[in-house]
Each structure stands twice: as C-alpha cells, then as structure tokens.
Amino acid sequence: MNTTLCRVLSAIVLSASTAGPAVASGHGPVFGAATPTLGRGGWSVDQAWTFRGGDEDQRQQMLKTMLSFGLTENLQLSGSLPLVMQDGDLAPARMMSAMSSDRELETLTAYRFQRRTVGVGGRQESTVYVGATAPFERSRNGVGIGPSLEAGISTGYASRAHYLWVGGATQQYFERDGDRFGASRLVTAVYGYRPAVLRTEAGKPDLRFFVEVTAEDRAAPRLAGITIGAGTRTVFAGPTSLLLHKAIGIEAGVLFPAYQRVDTFSVKERVRVAVNFAYFFWLK
C-alpha cells in the first residue's frame, strides 16, 4: 500500500474515533444522496478533500469548498468551488452526490417535499435536487466540455438507531465546439447505524457509521459528432462515518471497486477517499 493511501486511511480512522442531530442537522453521508436540509436561516461551509487512486500510480485530488443556505426548513441553496486538483488518466466520475468532483462552479437547490413521522422517533423524508455547472476549462479528457444541468432525488428513513437512503441523479452536458461530454447517471444507497452507547441527548457528540454504495453509468463522449468508446460503468462500496457536535461536522470514508468497465483511454480505479469538514452557523 503506498504512503499516500496509508496517510489517508489513518486520517479516516482518526476522524471516526474522535469524539446528532445537534444544530448540524443539514448533513448526511459523504458519498451518497441523502434527505437532510438546513433549517430556515441556517448556513454551512463545507471543505472537502477527495482522492482517487488507480493503476499505474494514477491519482486525482480535489479540494473543494461548498457554501449552503437554508431559505426555509425544507428549501436549501448550495454553491461549490474547486480550489486545488491533481489530474490523472482516470475515467470521469462523480464521487460525491452533493458536490462535483471536477473543475467547475456548481449550484444546487434541494427541496425536501416529504417529511412524516414513522413510529417513535423515526421519520421518512424525500428530497429533490436540481442544479447546474459551469466548467473552468474548455476541454476535459480531450473532449470539449460545456455547462451541464443536473437533477436528482433521494428518499429514506431515519431514526435514532438506523438510517437508510436511496437516490438517483443524472447530469447532462451541453455541446462545445462540436463535442459533447458523456452524460452521467448515478444511483446511490446508504445504510447507517448509531450504536446504543452513542444515542445520547441533544448537544452531545453524535457519531454515526455508514455503508455506502455508488453506481454510475457514464455515456461515451462525442468528439466532432462521433461517439468515442463505449462509456464507463462503475460500482463502488465501502465504510464511512459522520461525527456531529454542536456547530461542527466531520465525515470521512473510503470506497473500493465492486465492478468496473472503463474505456481504453483510462486506467482502472483502486480506491476513492473523501474527507469533509463542515461548520454550521446563523447570521442575525
């Protein structure tokens, strides 16, 4: 195992072992789609670091900042901006459902259209997402890259002990100079558990553990009107964790490939890692 990956996995273990919903109610898993939204007037700043490692020592790294605001209890606006990125010959992929993994400005609106109580302490929720991206580059992987539109939906159940979300999303790109980047179709599933010893009262540290699965089908790009390759299909799965305490949220996780079909121009991935720090606040 290389030195970089060892350091990354050590950081994940540390974040999971440090000590709700506390005031940080607008957060869920790190890779998959979930339903929580910020309350009315709530703000959050997320700083995410993502890493993709593949064959032939290929790597991609991204440092990205996302700012979110709760217009109402169920309506949330977000915008994200990339800060740093290291490119490699890996196939295009959407790692995090809530934040783009590429060099592009992204805006996202989340509307939680269903919320109902189930049993004692449980609730069922459904949230729809719509957004758009504007790339900072004219071409990506040798193909002209234009703006995109995206839409998704997530539904699930949450209680003091168990969490279950399933979701799906699609991202469609506009043409640029006769090229069109391959559209993405993403499906995610998340199961979470909070052990009994961690089910403390509000205001105490809240630590949750998840198993997340992401499956993406990305269409082949079109270069000068000609389809190149057959596109890519991937399924990744792995453990993640989320720690919430007062105005702070820390989440981290690692995914490993369960299935991959990549084109001849890219190498296969061996690991995906994400670490996200969130700060929640209110402006008066």
DSSP structure string for 140-174: ETTEE---EEEEEEEEEEE-SSEEEEEEEEEEEEP
Is-contact 240 29, C-beta < 8 A?
A: yes
pLDDT tens, position by position, 35-87? 999 989 999 999 999 999 999 889 999 999 999 999 999 999 999 998 877 77
Using CA atoms, how far apart are residues 210 and 129, in angstroms rounded to an integer?
Answer: 22
AA letter at 244? L
Structure tokens at 203: 């205001």
Give pLDDT, residue 284: 67
Give pLDDT, residue 21: 36
Smallest CA-to-CA distance from 50 within 91, 2, 12, 1 is with 12
Give pLDDT, residue 63: 94
Run means of pLDDT, 10 residues per run, the chain, 284 residues = 42 35 60 94 95 92 94 96 81 86 93 93 95 93 93 96 96 95 96 87 85 96 88 96 93 97 84 96 83
Give pLDDT, residue 186: 97
AA letter at 71? L
Cβ-based burial of 182 (10 A; exposed 0-12, middle 13-18, buried ≥19): buried
Q: Please state whether the predicted TM-score (pTM) of the whole model is above 0.85.
A: yes
Give pLDDT, residue 276: 96
Compute φ and ψ for 189, nearest 5 degrees. -140, 140
Structure tokens at 124: 């069922």
CATH number of 3-282: 2.40.160.40
Q: What residues does each domain of the chain span?
A: 3-282
